[in-house]
Structure 1
Amino acid sequence: MNHVDIAGLPVGDGHPPRIMGVLNMSVESNYDPSTWGDVDGAVEHAEQMATEGADIIDVGLQSSNPKNPWQAVDTELDRLDRALEVVDRADCDAVWSIETRYAEVADAALDGGFDMVNDVCGFADPDMPDVCEKHDAAVVKMASPPDIQSPGHLKSIDDCFAALERGGFTEKTIIDPAFGGWYDEKTHEDNWEMFRRLREFRAFGRPMLTATNREDFLGVVADRPETEDQLAVSLAAATMEVERGADIVRTHDVPETADVVAVAAFLGDGDRANAGDADGDAASLPNVAAREVERNVGLRGHNGVEPGEAATLSFRTTGLNEPIRERLAAIGADYGVLVAAGAGERPSPENVAGGRGDSPASEGTFVAGTASAFEDALAEIAEVDALQPLAGRIRRTLARERLA
């Protein structure tokens, strides 16, 4: 992981996830609780967010919501004067981030007291990387097409990966996968798929920012279509984002999000407590699926070992009688698949003849191995009638992982 220092605030492995509070200073922004047209109100809100747990305050000068028209650079520069007054007057220790798509605005903001840039157009302005490097400033690169008017207007996870790769990175780049609905190009289904596969973005080896707070693709899951009713679904998502690799969580709801992120980091499977080995930089990557292995291989190359040999899959199946378990164990031994039968695997007598037993006391049979081993063993497993449910689950998992 490339650790990033943002004006003394470390972000990345070995450090707790950071909270980015939203402060919009644009008249067209759609979420009123985070929008301030007057400097006095913006100062008070910024100080409140810092008190409630915001490590970073992200000041927006125009809305990136596709429902609103884009604003030219002169509009952002006019609004920057009020934003700089907020930075100057606010009494808080939070890091200040300027959300913009223009290198000219970023340059003026960094000169005036901002600490970092949140580029919602992902270096569509080709001068943005140079400006940030000149100021030694961190920059969030959101996955976007090379179009200054179209932040985030991408569909698939592959499109987002390609956009992040385009134009490269600075030494202090933080990536943003670009969740949301961008002119209907990215549907709810696209967002759900990208959320499930969020760990793949760890392949870049860079800190990651997620921004899903009060997004409709979450609200629809719980039948909460109105923005004001989407706090609970946003908090549920934030816990999973941290589990899947988010280092910064951007939110309108700072105190609630700070609480759930702290719990997710403390109780999760990640390695937040360790910054790396003394002789180098190493971090564990929990829950690595085959597609994440493929992403790392695609970005880095490899030593000739097939990606399927590096990703482990695990399954549990229940109700197998002794002969079927022995048959499964024999197949596993042939192909390097671990088979462990539970002590309570005692099928009911009426199901013994069919090879299955659905005893309530059954602990099930645990089956684990590499994706490649399961690929090789699948045909033989599928030949056994009683193992058809297991074979079907293996087949679907491999297909989902793009290995079969």
Structure 2
Amino acid sequence: MTINVNGELIDFSEPKIAGILNLTEDSFYDGGKYSTMDKALKQTEKLIVDGADFIDIGGQSTRPGADFLSAEVELKRIIPVLRQIKKEFPDSKISVDTFWSKVAEETVNEGAGMINDISGGNIDKNMFSTIGRLKVPYVLMHMKGTPKTMSQQTNYKDLILDINYFFSEKINELKELGVNDILLDPGFGFSKTMEQNYEIMKNLDKFAIFNLPLYVGISRKGMIYKLLNTTAQKILTPTSALHLYALEHGAHLLRVHDVKEAKEIIKLWEMLK
């Protein structure tokens, strides 16, 4: 199982890590930490040294209740940092977290190698055709509504079947447009209740039917800290425990804040295999 990123084949026979670089002021865990060029570059270097296979750059918060930023505002945040990262770390593989096709196009033109879209192409109807033209890997995430409304859209007939039906339809659309490098993200925390998040976790292997890499983003999320009645800052160990569970049930790529610890979890899991 492989994807082509900037001409290099990435093989998922060993799990990979996407290190999170939030350039936002209001993300739920690290908003504002890396909002200057110097801080963003230092964090990028740390993510790379700790073992990240991808740097996942986000220019706007997608926490529950968040308002949209325009593509133009997002680009003003991302493009300067992306250019500098590619200059200082030319071998780095950059994923851009966006639901705007304009941001996807301009960041890929600047060297980004993958697009991570929380909306599964539902917010910007030009996203799929843009990805088809750009020929870059695409993270297809399941979500209903938008970050502003998703907390009210948690009704499902059958949660796992409904997500798989969504994936099936979207994969067909993407493949008709020539997109073959697709990763699937079930969307932990997006239009899901806490109980539904854990139902997805228990059934991760049900998404293997598509024979596509499974992308898991649970790092320091509310499904963990709310259950444990604590804060995002205090749940590194519980996050690591769920990462191990996710690997055991089919995860191919972990999107994380804490790369070093995720790398250690992968090493332990591979030894257990």
TM-score by length of 1: 0.60
How far apart in 2 are the matches of 1:151 and 1:247? 26
Shift in Å, 1:201:
0.7
Shift of 1:243: 1.0
2:84 is matched with 86
Q: Structure 2 counterpart of 1:93, which letter?
A: D
- Secondary structure in 1 matching 2:112: coil
1:191 aligns with 2:200: no
1:33 deviates by 7.4
2:26 and 2:32 in contact (8 A); partners too: no
Tell me what 1:49 maps to: 47
1:213-232 equivalences under 5 Å are: 213-221=219-227, 223-232=228-237
Q: CA deviation at 1:86?
A: 3.4
Among candidates 235, 241, 252, match of residue 236 of structure 1: 241
Distance 2:268 2:32 in 1: 25
- 8 Å contact 1:3–1:10 — kept in the other structure? yes
User: What do you get for the CA RMSD once the two structures are aligned?
Assistant: 2.3
Classify the secondary structure of the residue corresponding to 2:170.
coil
Q: Paired residue for 2:28?
A: 30
| TM-score, length basis structure 2 | 0.87
Maintained 8 Å contact 2:19/2:47:
yes
Q: Percent identity?
A: 25
Unmatched runs of 5 consecutive residues or more in structure 1: 269-404
Q: 2:10 matched to which residue of 1?
A: 10
Distance (whole Å) between structure 2 residues aligned to residue 45 and residue 245 of structure 1: 29
SS of the residue 1:171 aligns to: coil
2:33, 2:39 within 8 Å by CA — same for their partners in 1? Answer: no
Q: Matched residue of 1:162: which SS?
A: helix
Contact 1:143-1:160 within 8 A present in 2 as well: yes
Q: In structure 2, how many angstroms separate the alpha carbons of the residues matched to 1:147 and 1:216? A: 17
Return 5+ residue gaps in structure 2 as ranges: none
Matched pairs, number: 261
Partner Cα separation in structure 2 for residue 25 and residue 220 of structure 1? 25
> Aligned residue for 1:62?
60
- Judge conservation of contact 1:17–1:265 (CA < 8 Å) in 2: no
Secondary structure at 2:116 match in 1: strand
Deviation by residue 1:342-401 (Cα, 9 ceiling, x = unmatched): xxxxxxxxxxxxxxxxxxxxxxxxxxxxxxxxxxxxxxxxxxxxxxxxxxxxxxxxxxxx
CA shift digits 1:102-148 (9 cap, x unpaired): 11110000001111101111111232222223222111011123769
Contact 1:39 1:85 in 2 (8 A): no
Secondary structure at the counterpart of residue 43 of structure 2: helix
Which amino acid is 1:69 matched to?
D
**Counterpart contact for 1:97–1:115, Cα < 8 Å:** yes
Q: How does 1:287-298 map to 2 (within 5 A)?
A: none
Given that residues 21 and 254 in structure 1 are in contact (C-alpha distance below 8 angstroms), is that contact kept between their aligned partners in structure 2? yes
The structural deviation recorded for 1:177 is 0.5
Q: Which has the larger radius of gyration?
A: 1
